[in-house]
Amino acid sequence: MSTSQASPEYTLYLFWISYFSGKMQAYLNYKRIPHRCVEPQWSGELLREILPNTGLMKVPVLRTPLGEWLADSTPMIDWLEARHPDGKVIPDDPVQAFFCRLLEDYADEWLWRPALHYRWSYTTDQQALSRRFAETFLSSQPAPNFITAALVRRRQRLIYVDGDGVTAQTRAHVESIYLDTLDRLQKIFEHQDFLLGDKPCLADYGFFASMFRHFSLDPTPSLIMQQRAPAVFAWVARLWNARHDDAQLGHWCAAGELPPGWDAIIGDIGAAYLPYLLANARAWRDGRRHFDITIQGTGYRKLPVVQYRVWCRERLQQHYAALPDAQRAAVDDRLIAANALEPLLADGRIASGLYDDVEPPLCKPRRYGRLEMLRRFFSGTHWRVPVARA
């Protein structure tokens, strides 16, 4: 467990090239929540301090001024919203709040595969980024950088490309997820500054995760974004620079309404993401480690079962169940039109068991023996496999 002193500000542990770290940084900056950023070394703070305090070798992780450890950007934002109400990113209107959460979750999880594919399948990107890993949070490894970089490329491809169903057969579909998202967002940002109107909302931060640190900055997808979706490129910079007390920010659209551009995104959530979440949850319930699924006509084989995403589905169901009666019909109309209600509710609640012993985003300290530490050093906690020994 950490012995460091409580600090008056939050400490955000991050990797400067990381998907979810960019999301948390942009959110904390918008809210003007005082924090300092620390990039941990893999075999230093990440293994020795973050792992025993969170059960994860992942970033972003927040250490609060009271010394609590928080993980997972989605529940972290909920937690921070409750404690730092200035510049809310979740609307009070229940319809808008529900769809903000749905879009955030979709963007967080469904754009992950294309983001990792572009980074680790294209030669220029994998060379540049593996070098960057070696020179930053892996720089204390004794091996020369070119060997560390080669090992990084192999690991990332094994886990997040080959190991996540990206093959010659699925590649076009994986890339279409990025390209179609660019087209949908381009249409929205041609007319308004942010997703729900003229100030940022939670859904902006969901899309920002992939769009900032991966798609707008990695060489191959960045060139595509610059040429195909310049308004998205501009939104990335605008959101990065947004602060809640900026007098130039406008308003969200009227309560109960969503911008017309959201329909196509919700359509994809119903056609692809929620059926995927359902299949992942069923496979988890059946005790499987992999599952096959056909999405939009493309057959994916041996997708890993991800426990965290079983929890994501539970959480969306909870938000749906908490909708006031007066707003339920409006939400249902939109979900039914997108074929999204059935996959959201099918089979009822499938329990992830992920947070049975703790209230997210709070983390519980865990003890690791030497052998387990060694295993974690080599494998990390990709796809989240927290080994809980309290």
Q: Which residues bind ligand GSH (CB under 6 A)?
A: 18-21, 58-60, 72-74, 108, 308, 380, 382
> Quick one: the chain helix, strand, coil %, rounded to 5?
55, 10, 35
Nearer CB in complex with ligand GSH: 156/181: 156
Which of 281, 302, 300, 278 shows the shortest CA–CA distance to 290?
302
Q: What are phi and psi of 152, to 5 degrees?
A: -60, -45
Sheet containing 61-63, strands listed edge to edge, beginning at the edge strand earlier in sequence: 35-38, 10-13, 61-63, 69-71
Q: Give min distance, CB of 308 to ligand GSH, in A.
A: 6
Nearer CB in complex with ligand GSH: 56/274: 56
DSSP 70-132: EE-HHHHHHHHHHH--TT-SS-SSHHHHHHHHHHHHHHHHHTHHHHHHHHHHSHHHHHHHHHH
Nearer CB in complex with ligand GSH: 189/207: 207
Nearer CB in complex with ligand GSH: 197/380: 380
Q: Residue with structure tokens 């950490």?
A: 2
Q: Give min distance, CB of 263 to ligand GSH, in A.
A: 26
Which of 259, 252, 222 shows the shortest CA–CA distance to 237?
222
Nearer CB in complex with ligand GSH: 78/180: 78
Q: Give min distance, CB of 58 to ligand GSH, in A.
A: 3
At a CB cut-off of 8 Å and minimum separation 6, what does 322 contact? none
Task: Compute the distance between CA of residue 284 and CA of residue 304 in angstroms, rounded to an integer.
Answer: 10
Q: Give min distance, CB of 20 to ligand GSH, in A.
A: 4
Nearer CB in complex with ligand GSH: 68/332: 68
Q: Give min distance, CB of 121 to ligand GSH, in A.
A: 16
Nearer CB in complex with ligand GSH: 63/334: 63
Task: Compute the distance between CA of residue 28 and CA of residue 248 in angstroms, rounded to an integer.
Answer: 19
Give the chain's largest Cα–Cα span.
62
Q: Helix, strand or coil for residue 245?
A: coil
At a CB cut-off of 8 Å and minimum separation 6, what does 142 contact? none
Nearer CB in complex with ligand GSH: 202/335: 202
Which amino acid is it at 224? I
Q: Give min distance, CB of 216 to ligand GSH, in A.
A: 15
Which amino acid is it at 165? G
Nearer CB in complex with ligand GSH: 58/184: 58
Q: Give min distance, CB of 319 to ligand GSH, in A.
A: 17
Which letter does DSSP use for residue 162 in this model?
A: G
At a CB cut-off of 8 Å and minimum separation 6, what does 262 contact? 99, 103, 188, 195
| Strand extents, DSSP E, 335-375 | none
Q: Give min distance, CB of 300 to ligand GSH, in A.
A: 20
Q: Give min distance, CB of 91 to ligand GSH, in A.
A: 21
Nearer CB in complex with ligand GSH: 240/323: 240
Q: Give min distance, CB of 74 to ligand GSH, in A.
A: 6
Which of 194, 199, 254, 209 shows the shortest CA–CA distance to 114?
209
